[in-house]
Amino acid sequence: MSVLSPEYLEKVILKSFTEDKHFCTLLSTEGEERYFENVEASEIFTIVKEYYHKYIDLPTKDVIINSSKKSKEVAKYLEDIASVETSNDMFLYEQTEKWLKESAFKYAIMDSVDLVKKKDDITKAREYIEQALTKTLKKQIGLDYWGDLSERLKRMFSAENQRIPTYYPQLDEFMNGGLPPYTLSVICAAMHSGKSNLMVNMATRQMMHGHSVMYLSLEMAEDELAKRVDAQLTKLDINRIYDTKKKEFLTNLKNVKTGQEGRLLFKQFPTGTASVNDFRSYLYELQMRNINIDCIYVDYLNIMKPTSSSGDGNLYTDVKKIGEELRALTYIFKCPCVTATQTTRCLEIGSSVTILSDGIEKDIEIKNINYGDAIKTDCGFNVVTQVFPIEKQKTFKVILKDGNSISCSNKHLFPAYDKYGNFIDNMNMYEIKSRGLFLMTE
């Protein structure tokens, strides 16, 4: 294939841009005026682009000249490109595609260098490079309902094969087979209610069924996470698991190994300082080592850092942005992502909050809050619609077989079973204990 000089290629591209509406539509969305080395070419591109976006039509030669601050130079350049031959559309598109990527990449490098000079966030450099490498004139038009019917039905009728099961039967049934790709699932629960345990258990089950799973932790150490898997697979008490004889431990582990297992990778990141950019870089590294992930777990949403903070201290905005960034991550790596968030971050009895009283902000203790008060939150002032009285309750501590424990009050209900495993009813712990019934655990 013949290679055009940069100067001549710009003339070829610009002539088609000023005369061909279809070509103008494609290039105006991807191209930038700074990609043109010639000053007049850059100005003509800007004029035509702005005119086309406003009027959905191409400007005449006179309009371009009269819209320019350098009308004489622009008029001469338009005369020069008038004699340029642009008959081979395929050649034009191939050359423009190459020019577009190279120009975008060059400026991505330059913009990345500016980040260093300005002492800005250098992690933005990856974003610049990725955007440059995805520049293209070949845009997907979307889904054609009738035209893509065959391919669409083929995808939809085999969708169960694309989902990643949790291997909790009831949960998978509820989700029509498991976790779909390109989705973010969030486990919402109170503090110390077992969110991390659930995610580790789901990841372990997926690994045991042949999936490659990535568990990204911002709170718990890698060895501690692996310890939970040890307890789940060996059925040994998690608090005494390494007090067990090593031979017994390995025997129990060997008994569950089938040879069909996948991979379960744990990676710890610093709390509060890791963002989706860190996760993306790490997952790219895995891909370079031919490790493709089927499901990603992030433990957990609230202690991540957004790639760019709102700067106003609004936690709602930051957490929302983190959620959007995690969802975007699933599109890059074509797999589901599961994370968790806390639903009951409560204040202590002696804590103070800011309320709005007669248009004036003032601080009061939380115990003095009344119905109808407007309390300042991350989302502005919210009106109190219900006040629960402060009361002491008897609590129970339930020790599970795996060594973990849960605390509950008499208001918590649990499924109660008799000694034969028959379900009786949902009861509080006092009723279960007094009637000699049992909790059923795996």
Give the CATH number for residue 163: 3.40.50.300
Looking at the fold, whether 322 and 274 belong to one and the same domain comes out as yes
Q: Please report the pLDDT score of residue 313 as a whole number.
A: 55
Asked whether residue 279 falls in the same domain as residue 366, the answer is no
**Number of domains forming the structure of the chain:** 4
Distance (Å, whole) CA 26 – CA 97: 11
Which carries the bigger pLDDT value, residue 11 or residue 343? 11
Three-state secondary structure call for residue 268: strand
In terms of domains, do 197 and 222 share one?
A: yes
- CATH number, domain at 92? 1.10.860.10
Among 133, 168, 200, give the residue marking a domain's end: 133
pLDDT in tens, 92-111: 888 898 999 999 999 999 99
Same domain as 176, residue 57: no
Give the alpha-carbon dihedral of 350, 351, 353, 358, to 10 degrees: 20
- Same domain, yes or no: 334 and 194: yes
Which of 342, 370, 405 is a domain's end point? 342
The pLDDT value recorded for residue 442 is 45
Residues 219-234: what's their mean pLDDT? 89
CA distance 290 to 93: 33
280 & 170 share domain: yes
Same-domain status, 108 and 205: no
Whether residue 326 sits in one domain with residue 282: yes
Residue 244 sits in the same domain as residue 330 = yes
> In the chain, what percentage of residues exceed pLDDT 90?
30
Beta strand pairing call for 414-417 and 438-439 = antiparallel
Q: What local confidence, expressed as pLDDT, does residue 205 receive?
A: 95
Domain interval for residue 94: 6-133
Q: Do residues 361 and 260 share a domain?
A: no
- 39 belongs to a structural domain: yes
366 & 415 share domain = no
Average pLDDT score over the chain: 84
Beta strands across the sheet bearing 414-417: 423-427, 414-417, 438-439
On whether both 275 and 321 belong to a single domain, the answer is yes
- Domain membership of residue 232 (yes or no) is yes
